[in-house]
Amino acid sequence: MDFHLQASAVRGGTVTVPGDKSISHRALMLGSLAEGTSSITGFLAGEDCLSTLQALRDLGVRIEQHDVTSLTVHGVGLRGLNAPRGDLDMGNSGTAMRLFCGVLAGQGFDSRLVGDESLSGRPMNRVILPLAAMGARIESQDGKPPLSVHGQASLRGIDYEMPVASAQVKSCVLLAGLYAEQPTSVFEPAVTRDHTERMFGTMGVEVTATEGWIGIEPGQTLTATDIEVPGDLSSAAFIILAVLLAESAEASITGVGINPTRTGVIDILRAMGADISLENPRELGREPVADLRVRSSRLRGIEVDPALVSLAIDEFPVLFVAAAAAQGRTVFTGIGELRVKESDRIGAMAAGLRTLGVLVDESPDGAIVHGGAFTGGEIQCFSDHRIAMAFAVAGTIASADVVIRNVDAVDTSFPGFADLLSRLGARISVRVGEPST
């Protein structure tokens, strides 16, 4: 499947975006490990989260799906999972694989986690090493999936200093800490998203946070609750950018999660001159939510503060396109983590922007993007959903047609993306894939 885009007048309007992917994963997992029955509304029915749902069913959890976004999870408690009959398929989801490692390390049975070609190339030692220190045994292919997890009935608590800030690693270790006999804590060198800690709190697990250390005490259990998933800011970022780059547009994106560990993209875009305001602030559970008001803006290049990197780690494809459309140059540093996402996102964005006539200077952990105008061209997105959507937004203001190849992965996080962009005025069509020229 390909996206074909022509320059168009994005008008704006009032829209909603799919539920938050990170929160949807955690709602399923923690609801399954809780005592009692949890209801989930606003669930993201993208392929990544559906992989988590199926894996939990394969582990014996009864989950009812009432409609696309509403579920009931009948929790089995921390010790109620059953040994799966076959491999647990994580699809393309690094979040699912890393978090499941933490859960399965404390079970009394063995399991095997597999994924697609992209996921099978992603590094997993970042969770294997701390889990090994807790007493788990995980076999891998040179630190990459498939992973064979040999569960232990109980684990050792540890104090783990992450070498690289990662919400997935932090969450993995904290989940394993539920099965530990001693306290468990994780030090993060930079602030990362805290959805796991917030959801722990709503389910009765006390979490401490002191000078970068996040910890839990042993012997705690999860209590079922009702979870309303807010709109995903990472998905909203593409709509925000499309409106910002338009000539004269305004949009309201309602019910979006604005967790402060996630709002780096808003801070960076505002520093570039973006007109973005937060309206009607409120909370869903312990997650802050607001409606985002966005107006067309002329962006300028900046040096992005490295301290904001961990707060915008999934939004850098959006920021690369923003930088390419801005006046002047934008400097990104400290973003080497992007090279081991669903694709090498620094390399993929640099290559795609060059195809569209934008000058990019690339380095191992950063890039300098020289703002200008987009020409047309054919983009390879390397089966990376965020690369595909970022270049779709670029295509709305390109001087010639933009074709983005093999965009099927967009459904992992933003089902209906093309339809929503079209409703805002973009000239985007979805076509069956054609041979590359």
Active site residues: 314
- DSSP letter for each residue of 28-82: HHHHHHSBSEEEEES---SHHHHHHHHHHHHTT-EEEEEETTEEEEE---TT---
Whether the Cβ atoms of residue 292 and residue 236 lie closer than 8 Å to each other: yes
Whether the Cβ atoms of residue 244 and residue 394 lie closer than 8 Å to each other: no
Cα torsion 195, 254, 5, 315: sign: negative
Closest CA to 414 of 299, 258, 292, 253: 253
Both tokens of 290, joined, read 């607001």
Both tokens of 223, joined, read 């209590």
Burial degree of 341 (CB within 10 A; 0-12, 13-18, 19+): buried
Whether the Cβ atoms of residue 133 and residue 157 lie closer than 8 Å to each other: no
Burial degree of 370 (CB within 10 A; 0-12, 13-18, 19+): middle
The gap between the terminal CA atoms of the chain, to the nearest Å, is 15
Phi, psi of 27 (to 5 degrees): -60, -40
Bridge partners, 242 (sequence order): none
